[in-house]
Amino acid sequence: MKHAASHLLPLLVAGLLLGGCGRGTTAATTTAPPPATATAAPTPVPPAPGFSIPVEYYTLPNGLRVVLSPDHTAPTATVAVYYNVGFRNEPRDRTGYAHLFEHLMFQGSQNLGKLEFINLVQSNGGVLNGSTRFDFTNYFETVPANKLETMLWAEADRMRGTALTPASLANQQGVVKSEVRVNVLNQPYGGFPWLDMPQKANKNWNNAHNFYGDLKDLDAATLPDAEKFFKTYYTPSNAALAVVGDFEPADAKAMVEKYFANLPSAPRPAKPDLTEPRQTEEMRFTKDDKLANKPALAFAYHMPDRNTPEYYALILLDQLLLQGKDSRLYQALVQKRGYTDEVSGGINYLGNAFNYSGPMLWMGNLTYDNSVSADSVLGVVDRTIGRLDQQGVSQNDLDLALVKLRSSLYDNLSSGQGRADVLAAFALFDNDPARINTLEAEFRKVTPAIMQQTIRDYLRKTNRTILIINPLAKS
Q: Which amino acid is at 24?
A: G
How does DSSP classify residue 397?
H
Q: Give me the pLDDT at residue 94, please.
A: 82
Helices and strands of the chain, counted as H and E runs? 18, 11
Count the Cβ atoms, other than its own, within 10 Å of residue 116. 15
- DSSP output for 413-471: TTSHHHHHHHHHHHHHHHS-GGGGGTHHHHHHT--HHHHHHHHHHHSSGGGEEEEEEEE
Residue 51 pLDDT: 72
- What three-state secondary structure class fits 361? strand
* CA–CA separation, 267 and 254 (whole Å): 25
pTM (2 d.p.): 0.88
pLDDT for position 49? 56
CA-closest candidate to residue 136, choices 429, 359, 434, 432:
429
- Cα–Cα distance measured from residue 168 to residue 440, given in angstroms and rounded to the nearest whole number: 45
The neighbouring-strand residues paired with 66 are: 58, 241
DSSP secondary-structure letter at 236?
Answer: G
Q: Is the peptide bond before 166 cis (omega within 30 degrees of 0)?
A: no
Q: Report the distance separating Cα 94 and Cα 220, nearest Å.
A: 9
Q: How far apart are the first and last CA of the chain?
A: 32
User: Rounded to an integer, what is the distance from CA 96 to the centroid of its chain?
Assistant: 17
Rounded to whole angstroms, the Cα distance separating 268 from 236 reads 9
Question: What's residue 177's pLDDT?
Answer: 87
Q: Is 278 exposed, middle or buried (0-12, 13-18, 19+ CB in 10 A)?
A: exposed
d(CA 423, CA 317): 24
Q: What is the pLDDT of residue 390?
A: 95
Whether the CA torsion 85, 87, 91, 96 is positive or negative: it is: positive
One digit per residue, the tens of pLDDT, for the chain of length 475 reads: 333 333 333 332 222 222 222 222 222 222 233 333 334 445 555 555 567 999 999 999 999 999 999 999 999 999 999 999 999 988 887 888 899 999 999 989 999 998 899 999 999 999 999 999 999 999 999 999 999 999 999 999 999 998 888 988 898 888 888 888 888 889 999 999 999 999 999 999 999 999 888 778 888 888 998 899 999 999 999 999 999 999 999 999 999 999 999 999 999 999 999 999 999 999 999 999 999 999 999 999 999 999 999 999 999 999 999 999 999 999 999 999 999 999 999 999 999 999 999 999 999 999 999 999 999 999 999 999 999 999 999 999 999 999 999 999 999 999 999 999 999 999 999 999 999 999 999 999 999 999 999 999 999 999 999 999 999 876 5
Q: What is the pLDDT of residue 183?
A: 87
Instruction: Indicate the burial class of 389 (C-beta count within 10 angstroms; 0-12, 13-18, 19 or more).
Output: middle
CA atoms of 1 and 30, how far apart (whole Å): 40
Cα distances from 391 to residues 238, 316, 395, 448, 451, in angstroms, run 47, 17, 12, 11, 12
SS3 296: strand
- 324 vs 344: CA distance, rounded Å: 9
Cα gap 471→144, rounded to integer Å:
48
Beta-sheet pairing, 283-289 with 464-471: parallel
